[in-house]
Amino acid sequence: MPDDYNPATVADVRRLRDTLEQQGKKLVFTNGCFDLLHAGHVRYLEQARALGDAMVVALNSDQSVRQLKGPDRPLNPEHDRAEVMSALRAVDAVVVFDDERATALIEAIRPHVYAKGGDYTVESLNREERAALESAGTQICILPLVPGRSTTKTINKMQAGDSSAPGSGLLRLAVLGSGAGSNLRAIIAAIQSNTLRAEVAITLSDQADSGFREIARTAGLPALFVDGGDNPRRLSDAAQKEIFEHLERARIDVVVLAGFMRILKEPVISAYAGRIVNVHPSLLPKFKGANAPQLAIDEGELESGCTVHLVTAEIDGGRILGQAKVPVKLGDTAETLHARIKVEEHKLLPHVLNEWRERGLSVRGAVAS
Ligand code: GRF
């Protein structure tokens, strides 16, 4: 059979929406990756379609699936996913979009109803998407997930016990950062030089334009962005959940906080207990929290340094895995001292991570000893 399928354009969908409106009917909009179609998807789509008179599915392009879910996804290319999706009876049109969020598409299409699957609440929707929906006057409907069905679950099942899976035997890291990203760069360099036997499966930042993300992108790593919410130290509940989902999907062994400026809480803290490390610019337990180099200077310390430690609910309070010292010099500013500390961080962090695997510590679900 000739391959003559083509997804709809945004203009096609907008026309469909306008025609429906003239007839007093409603267009339903939903979006997602729909990589490996399962009964949960089909049931969800049927329910979503019943909210209106026609439905458009906005499908994440291959590039945006990689950004959202990591380098191993999608399993099926966007053209195939679109073709399969358009064959479902609940789906009237499929449009492929290239961004991580569907905001621009919502603004262009102005659907009457927006359906979202999952355990979201209206409050936990992405802020920009929600603002676009509200300004288009779109009705937001959250539909429950079909229990027990998920693409990630299926993939994990298929890969379980497959020792020839790509990267097997390597520590799968998620590196989280908000700033310049020099520790991420040090991890990447250590992996490249084989002094750290690991792979960075995902990087994740709460700062869309950070140096950290730029370093990840330059290295060809998935540079995920999570909108943390308004408080620069707190992560919203939606963001805590989103991070957890990213870690689960990427089957992460160890979470590395490399200058991540917001506080991780549940569900990540419990699910990854004993498997989250942080690098902090002081000799803990001295100078926990922000501005540690300045505090060391203010206290007249003669030496400072860095600490790699496990992350628990107590800020900078988990078990210490390694430390390195540097002198505090006369005339040091917070910047000069911090720069000297970072030189040590760049050696200590990859070293501790590598020791982790060399000592044969079980990482999957176990607390490191
Ligand atoms: C490091 O000094 C680390 O100790 C602290 O944040 C800084 C991150 O630096 N938690 P960078 O973004 O890795 O350059």
Residues 136 and 284 occupy one common structural domain? no
Residues 295 and 350 occupy one common structural domain? yes
Q: Dihedral sign, CA of 51, 52, 55, 56? A: negative
CATH code for position 343: 3.40.50.170
- Give kind and range of the element (H or E) at residue 176: strand 171-177
Please report, for residues 16, 103, 209, 249, the alpha-carbon distance to residue 176 in angstroms, rounded to integers and kept in the order given: 42, 25, 14, 15
Asked whether residue 162 is assigned to any structural domain, the reply reads: no
Cα–Cα distance between 94 and 29 in angstroms, integer? 10
C-alpha 98: how far from chain center = 17
Q: End of a domain among 124, 152, 180? A: 152
pLDDT of residue 3: 67
Residues 200 and 298 occupy one common structural domain? yes
User: What is the position in ligand 1's atom list of the atom closest to the CA of 185?
Assistant: 13
Cα–Cα distance between 93 and 9 in angstroms, integer? 9
Residues 218 and 140 occupy one common structural domain? no
pLDDT of 153 above 80: no
When mean pLDDT is compared across 27-41, 213-227, 350-364, the lowest value belongs to: 350-364
What distance in angstroms lies between residue 183's CA and the mean position of ligand 1's atoms? 6
Please report, for residues 88, 110, 147, 298, the alpha-carbon distance to residue 39 in angstroms, rounded to integers and kept in the order given: 12, 28, 10, 61
Q: Which residue has the higher pLDDT, 117 or 79?
A: 79
Q: Tokens 């354009």 sit at which residue?
A: 9
Residues 23 and 121 occupy one common structural domain? yes
User: What count of residues does the chain have?
Assistant: 369
Counted domains in the chain = 2
Residues 179 and 320 occupy one common structural domain? yes
Residues 147 and 234 occupy one common structural domain? no
pLDDT of residue 144: 81
Residues 144 and 101 occupy one common structural domain? yes
Which residue's CA is the closest to the ligand 1 atom numbered 8? 259
Q: Among the options 41, 112, 246, 280, which is catalytic?
A: 280
Q: Tokens 């908000």 sit at which residue?
A: 178
Q: Tokens 């499929």 sit at which residue?
A: 94
> What's the domain range around 146?
10-152
What distance in angstroms lies between residue 131's CA and the mean position of ligand 1's atoms? 33
Which residue's CA is the closest to the ligand 1 atom numbered 2? 281
Q: End of a domain among 126, 152, 178? A: 152
Asked whether residue 91 is assigned to any structural domain, the reply reads: yes
The percentage of the chain sitting over the pLDDT mark of 90, rounded to a whole number, equals 73
CATH code for position 36: 3.40.50.620
Which residue's CA is the closest to the ligand 1 atom numbered 9? 259
Cα–Cα distance between 170 and 29 in angstroms, integer? 41
Neighbours of 247 (CB within 10 A): 24
User: What is the position in ligand 1's atom list of the atom closest to the CA of 341?
Assistant: 2
Count of CA atoms in the C-beta half-sphere (13 A) of 206: 24
pLDDT of residue 225: 94
Asked whether residue 363 is assigned to any structural domain, the reply reads: no
- Return the C-alpha torsion angle 216, 219, 220, 223, nearest 10: 0
Asked whether residue 69 is assigned to any structural domain, the reply reads: yes
Residues 139 and 230 occupy one common structural domain? no
Cα–Cα distance between 226 and 178 in angstroms, integer? 11
pLDDT of residue 362: 44
- Active-site residue, 351 included: no
- Give kind and range of the element (H or E) at residue 22: helix 10-22
Q: Is the CB of 212 under 6 A from ligand 1?
A: yes
Which residue's CA is the closest to the ligand 1 atom numbered 10? 259
What distance in angstroms lies between residue 179's CA and the mean position of ligand 1's atoms? 7
Strands 198-205 and 320-327: unpaired
Residues 173 and 145 occupy one common structural domain? no
- Residue 222 near residue 203, CB atoms below 8 Å: yes
Identify any residues that bridge with 276 across adjacent strands, giving them in sequence order: 255
Cα–Cα distance between 356 and 80 in angstroms, integer? 41
Q: End of a domain among 152, 186, 202? A: 152
Asked whether residue 369 is assigned to any structural domain, the reply reads: no
pTM of the model: 0.61
Q: pLDDT tens-digit profile of 318-366?
A: 999 999 999 999 999 999 999 999 999 999 999 999 987 776 554 443 3
Residues 126 and 198 occupy one common structural domain? no
Residues 142 and 176 occupy one common structural domain? no
CB within 8 A of 124, min separation 6: which ones? 236, 237, 238, 241
What distance in angstroms lies between residue 211's CA and the mean position of ligand 1's atoms? 12
Asked whether residue 19 is assigned to any structural domain, the reply reads: yes
Which residue's CA is the closest to the ligand 1 atom numbered 7? 259
User: What is the position in ligand 1's atom list of the atom closest to the CA of 280?
Assistant: 4
When mean pLDDT is compared across 46-60, 217-231, 287-301, the lowest value belongs to: 217-231
For residue 191 the two structure tokens come to 């992996």
**Mean pLDDT estimate for the chain:** 89
